[in-house]
Amino acid sequence: MAPLGAETESGNPQQAQRRIVAALVAGQVLGGIGMGAALSIGSLLAVQVSGSTAWSGMAATMNTLGAALLAIPLARIAAKKGRRVSLSLGTILSGLGAGIAITAASLSAFPLLLVGLALLGSGTAVNFQARFAATDMAAPSTRARDLSIVVWSTTIGAVSGPNLFEPGEVFGRWLHLPPLTGAFAFTVAAQLAAAAVYALALRPDPLKASLYAPKDSRRKNVSGFTVLRRRPALRFAVAAVALTQGTMVALMSMTPVHLHEHGAGPSVVGFTLSLHIAGMFGLSPVFGWLADRLGRLPILLGGQGMLLASLTFAWLAPQTMVTPSLILLGLGWSAAVVAGSAMVADAVTAEERSGLQGVSDLIMNLVGASCGALAGPVLAAVGYSGLGTVAMSLVAVVLAWALLNTLRKRGS
C-alpha cells in the first residue's frame, strides 16, 4: 500500500480532502438521480407489475433491503481495495438494477422486478458509504460539515429524479419501453457516469490514506460488530440513525400510494416527493455546521422533534398536510442522520471506521426495509393517519434512550 505522504501528494491533507469531497459531491449528484426515481416511481411500478396495492411497499423495502445486504460487502471491499473501487462497483450494480427493473416490467415478472429494485439499493449503500468517506481524512472540527456537504450533494440528483417521470415517459415511448420505466433508463446512464467519476476522480483514496501511515503499513481493520459490542455509546448512535431511517421509509414509501388513491396525478406525486427529498438533503450542511458548533446530541434530538411534528401532521390532517409533513420528515431525517453519523465517526479510529460503517448501514437499512414492508399492511388496515401514529413509536424509542443515557450520566 502507498504511504500516507504518497496518497496525499506531498503531505498536504487539507488540499487532498478538498479534492476528495469534490469527487464525492460529483458522484453523489449523479447517483442521486437513481435514488429519486426509485423512491418516487418504484412503488407505482410495483403496483402495476404485481396488480395489487398490497405490494406497493415492496419497492422501498427491496431497495432498502438491497442496501442492507450490500452494506457489509461494499465496506469490506473498501477496507481491502479502497473507497474508489467500492463506490464505483456499488454504483455499477445500481445501474444494473435499473436495467433489470425495465426488463421485469417488459416481462410482467414481479419477482425479477424485486431483484432489480434490490440491486438499485446498491446506490443507496453507496450514498451512505460516501458520507463516511468524507470523514476518512477530515479534521475533527469539520467532520460533521464535510459529511453533511456530501449528504447535501445528493439533493440535485435526488430532487430531479421524481421530476423525470414525465420526460422519462416520453423518452420511454420513443424507446418502446413499458409504462413507468422511462425514468429508469435515465438512471442507468446516471449511475454509469457516477461510477466513472468515482473511479477516475477520487484521488487520493481517502480510506487508504487514513489507514496506511508511513510508521505502520500493517494496520488491520477491526470488525464492526466487535466495536459495537464494546462501546455502549456507539450502540445509541447506530440505533438512533437506524430508527430515524425506519420512520422516514415507513411514511415516505406510502405517500405516493396515499396521494394516488386520493386522485393526485404523477406530477403532483413527483413534486411532493421532490420537496421531501429536498428536505432530506438541502439543509444538511446547516445541520452539519450546527453539529460541529453545538454538539451532536442536540441536533439529533432536534431531528427527532421534527419527525414527531411530521407524524403529527400525518395523523391529524392526512389529506391537507401531506406536503408539510413530508418536508418535515425530510428535515428531521437530515438532522438526525448527519448528527448520528458524526457521532459514529467521532467514536472510532480509521482502522475501525469501515467495519463499523458497514454494520451501521446494515442495521440502518434492515430497519428501513422492515418498516417499509410493514407500512403497506398498516396503511391497508388503519390508513395513512394510523400509519403516522404507529410510526411515532420509533421516535419515542430514540427519545427514551437519550433520556436514559442522560439520567445514567448524571447518576454516575
Q: How many Cβ atoms are within 10 Å of 129's Cβ, its own excluded?
A: 27
Domains belonging to the chain, first-starting first, are 4-206+220-411 (1.20.1250.20)
Give the contacts of 207 (CB within 8 A, at least 6 positions apart). Answer: 78, 79, 82, 83, 133, 136, 350, 353, 354
- Report pLDDT for 366: 86
| Confidence at 406, pLDDT banded by 50, 70, 90 | confident
pLDDT tens per residue, range 352-393: 777 888 888 889 888 988 888 888 889 889 999 999 999 999
Q: What pLDDT, in 10s, does the model give residues 40-51? A: 677 778 888 888
pTM for the whole thing? 0.76
Question: What is the chain's alpha carbon radius of gyration, rounded to the nearest angstrom?
Answer: 20
The residue type at 359: V
How do residues 171-230 score in pLDDT, each as one tens digit?
777 877 887 777 788 888 889 999 999 999 998 888 888 765 444 444 456 677 888 887
Banded pLDDT at 311 (limits 50, 70, 90): very high
SS3 annotation, 223-266: CHHHHHHHCHHHHHHHHHHHHHHHHHHHHHHHHHHHHHHCCCCH
What is the arithmetic mean of pLDDT over 254-282? 78
> Residue 387 is placed in which grid cell?
400509519
